[in-house]
């Protein structure tokens, strides 16, 4: 039973390019959550998605960032026109349903470096 899979593990982009980060939730999980960890800082919630729906995007930057979780395939976090400040570790977690009596499983993350 594979855990939450994220790829790529490391991603290097030049300023102005696009970054696409993928997250495959655990089998049977239809809820995905994205977090960002800037260097030397704590993790910050970005967005919560259910299949084909954005439930809570209160932590997403207003520009250049978007997320989707299609009916088929992984969840995608997309960053357009990346800047140096986007360099961070991006983690996703998944759950089978909406509840807080549940221990969330996180992926190993994608480390984005913008040069």
Q: Which residues bind other proteins (CB under 8 A)?
A: 31, 33, 35, 42-45, 48, 55-56, 58-59, 91, 93, 95, 98-109
In whole angstroms, give the CA distance from residue 94 to residue 87. Answer: 23
Closer CB to other proteins, 1 or 58, in the complex: 58
Closer CB to other proteins, 48 or 79, in the complex: 48
What are the residues whose beta carbons fall under 8 Å from the beta carbon of 32, sequence distance 6 or more? 23, 25, 48, 49, 50, 69, 75, 92, 93, 94
Closer CB to other proteins, 10 or 15, in the complex: 10
In whole angstroms, give the CA distance from residue 4 to residue 38. Answer: 21
Question: At its nearest, how many Å lie between other proteins and the CB of residue 27?
Answer: 17
Question: At its nearest, how many Å lie between other proteins and the CB of residue 98?
Answer: 4
Q: Which helix (H) or strand (E) holds 112?
A: strand 110-114
Question: At its nearest, how many Å lie between other proteins and the CB of residue 16?
Answer: 27
């Amino acid at each position: 039973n594979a855990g939450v899979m994220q790829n790529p593990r490391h991603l290097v982009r030049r300023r102005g390019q696009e970054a696409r980060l993928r997250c495959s939730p655990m089998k049977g999980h239809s809820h995905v959550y994205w977090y960002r960890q800037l260097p030397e800082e704590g993790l910050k919630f970005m967005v919560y998605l259910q299949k084909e729906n954005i439930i809570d995007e209160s932590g997403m930057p207003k520009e250049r960032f978007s997320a989707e979780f299609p009916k088929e395939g992984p969840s995608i976090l997309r960053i357009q026109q990346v800047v140096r400040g986007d360099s961070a570790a991006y983690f996703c977690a998944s759950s089978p349903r909406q509840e807080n009596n549940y221990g969330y499983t996180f992926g190993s993350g994608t480390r984005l470096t913008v040069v």
